[in-house]
Amino acid sequence: MTMNVLELDDTRRQLRDRLRAMPDVGDPRAGVRRMRALLQEMGVQCDDTAELEDADAILLTSGRGMEALIASRLDDDQRHQAYSRIVARLIIGQMHEPIDAKIEYHSKHSTISRQEKEEDAAVAKFATALAEGNLNLAPRPLYEDVPKLTLAFTPRTAALSTLGGMHLWSDYWYRRSTMYRWWRSRRDVSSAIKRVCVILNPRRPAAA
C-alpha cells in the first residue's frame, strides 16, 4: 500500500535514529550495503539493476509501496552517493500520495520551481555528509531531536531555548541558501557550533 504521511514521518524518525548509530565506513561498497540494508529495514524495496540512462536513482512511492531504483551503470562510489541521496531525500523531501517520484541526477538539472531547486540542493549537500559519515557537517534537526524554541523562565530553559532557535535558524537556511550550505559544511564551522552547543547545553555535549 502507499505510504501515508504518518508512516512517512515515522520512517523519517527511524532513519534519523539509525543514521546516528551508523559507523563511518571508508569502503564505498560497504557503505552501499549499509545504506541498502537501512532502506530495506524501513520497508523501501531496493533495485540496483535498473536501466536508467540519465538518472542515477529514482525514489518512487505508489500502490506497491516505496521503491528505490538505482542505475546499474554506477560504480561503487557513485552507487554509494546515489543511496545516500535516496536516504537524504526521504528525510528532507516531501512525497505526495497516491503516487510520486523523485529523480536523482549526478549533476544539476532543470527544475520547475524554486522549492524544487532548494530541496534538490539541500538533498545533495546532506547526502555528501551521509556518504562521508560525518553528520556534524549538516544541521542537527535533520538527524536528531533538538531543543525547542520556547518562552523561557529560568537560565537553563533560556539556554535551551536559545539553542533551539539556533537549530531552527540553521535548518531553515540550510534548505534555502547555497552560501549557508557551503558555510555549514566546513569542518571548522562544525567544530565552532559544537563548542557553542556545549556552552548552551553542557549536560549533552554531543549536541551540535
Min mean pLDDT across 110-119, 121-130, 137-146 is at: 110-119
For residue 208, the model assigns a pLDDT of 40
Number of domains in the chain: 2
**Whether residue 31 sits in one domain with residue 80:** yes
**Whether residue 78 sits in one domain with residue 11:** yes
| Residue 57 and residue 68 in contact, taking contact as beta carbons nearer than 8 Å | yes
Which of the four pLDDT bands, split at 50, 70 and 90, describes residue 1? Answer: very low
Would residue 108 count as lying in a domain?
Answer: yes
Residue 125 has pLDDT above 60, yes or no: yes
For residue 167, the model assigns a pLDDT of 93
The pTM for the full model equals 0.86
The residue out of 86, 104, 131 marking a domain boundary is 131
Q: How many other C-beta atoms lie within 10 A of the C-beta of residue 123? A: 23
Write the pLDDT tens digit of every residue in 50-79. 998 889 999 998 888 889 999 999 999 999
**Whether residue 121 sits in one domain with residue 146:** no
Write the pLDDT tens digit of every residue in 23-43. 766 788 899 999 999 999 988
- The string of DSSP codes covering the chain is ----HHHHHHHHHHHHHHHHHPPP-S-HHHHHHHHHHHHHHTTEEEEEEE--SS-SEEEEEETTEEEEEEETT--HHHHHHHHHHHHHHHHHS---SS-EEEEE-SS----SSHHHHHHHHHHHHHHHHHHHT-GGGS-GGGTS---------SHHHHHHHHHHHHHHHHHHHHHH-HHHHHHHT-HHHHHHHHHHHHHH-TT-TT--
Would residue 125 count as lying in a domain?
Answer: yes
The residue out of 131, 155, 176 marking a domain boundary is 131
Write the pLDDT tens digit of every residue in 147-205. 888 877 788 888 899 999 999 999 999 999 999 999 999 999 999 999 999 898 887 64
For residue 111, the model assigns a pLDDT of 63
For residue 3, the model assigns a pLDDT of 55
Domain range holding 164? 135-200
**Whether residue 177 sits in one domain with residue 80:** no
The residue out of 102, 131, 160 marking a domain boundary is 131
For residue 5, the model assigns a pLDDT of 60
**Whether residue 109 sits in one domain with residue 74:** yes
Would residue 185 count as lying in a domain?
Answer: yes
For residue 177, the model assigns a pLDDT of 94
For residue 168, the model assigns a pLDDT of 93
Percent of the chain surpassing pLDDT 70: 91
Q: How many other C-beta atoms lie within 10 A of the C-beta of residue 8? A: 18
Would residue 180 count as lying in a domain?
Answer: yes
**Whether residue 31 sits in one domain with residue 119:** yes
**Whether residue 151 sits in one domain with residue 125:** no
Would residue 205 count as lying in a domain?
Answer: no
**Whether residue 53 sits in one domain with residue 151:** no
Residue 127 has pLDDT above 80, yes or no: yes
